[in-house]
Copies of this chain bind each other. A is one copy, B any other.
Amino acid sequence: MYEPLFAYLEQRFPLSDDEKAVIASVVSHRLLKKGEFLLREGETARVGAFVAKGFLRSYVIDNKGKEHIIQFAPENWWVSDKSGMNPDTAATFFIDAIEDTEVLLMDLSGHLLLMDKVPGYAKSFQAGIQKRATAKDTRIVNSLTATAEERYDDFIKTYPSIAARVPQHMLASYLGITPETLSRIRKLQTRKR
């Protein structure tokens, strides 16, 4: 059951049997059916979730009722539900499953325990945080300056497997464009090729 997580961590640092036991003790397991919520508005569970199988997405709904996808999370990705999002933006934060998925959940105390007991974990956590921060900077600059088509091409190139797996309107939402615009971009591109 914990194998996908162990495998993920072992790609980053060696893991002893003892450490595996510690990890197993702080992680809980949950199955989500397609469409089911991991986090509904209001529940600030403050946990991290590791996607062992399937596909999650996190998104907000703004004050005009539109949803904006923040992140896609296929297998071997973490999502944090640290609700994030400034409360006074009036945006509400959700995580739900795009496919049937299997997640491993960890709460704050579990995280702190691992930081303490599993040296490799602390290090790779730091690295992950850092990497994600720069990815966000890149996305910010990109969204401020690139055209819809450039953003689309970029996404396809960077995450081809995700692009192939999510419905088009969700990709549009992630890219910050309307489904119509995305449809037109794709049409023009297939003509060219």
Residues in A lying within 8 Å of B, measured CB to CB: 60, 62, 66, 68, 70, 82, 84-86, 89, 91, 129-130, 132-141, 143-145, 175-176
B89 near A138: Cβ-Cβ < 8 Å? yes
Closest Cβ of chain B to A114, distance in Å, is 14
Residues of chain B within 8 A (CB-CB) of A134 are 82, 84-86
B138 near A140: Cβ-Cβ < 8 Å? no
26 A-B contacts, Cβ less than 8 Å apart?
A62-B141, A66-B145, A68-B141, A68-B144, A70-B141, A82-B133, A84-B133, A84-B134, A84-B137, A84-B138, A85-B134, A85-B138, A86-B134, A86-B135, A86-B138, A89-B138, A91-B141, A129-B129, A129-B133, A133-B136, A136-B137, A139-B140, A140-B140, A143-B143, A143-B176, A144-B176
CA distance A93 to B138 in the complex (A): 11
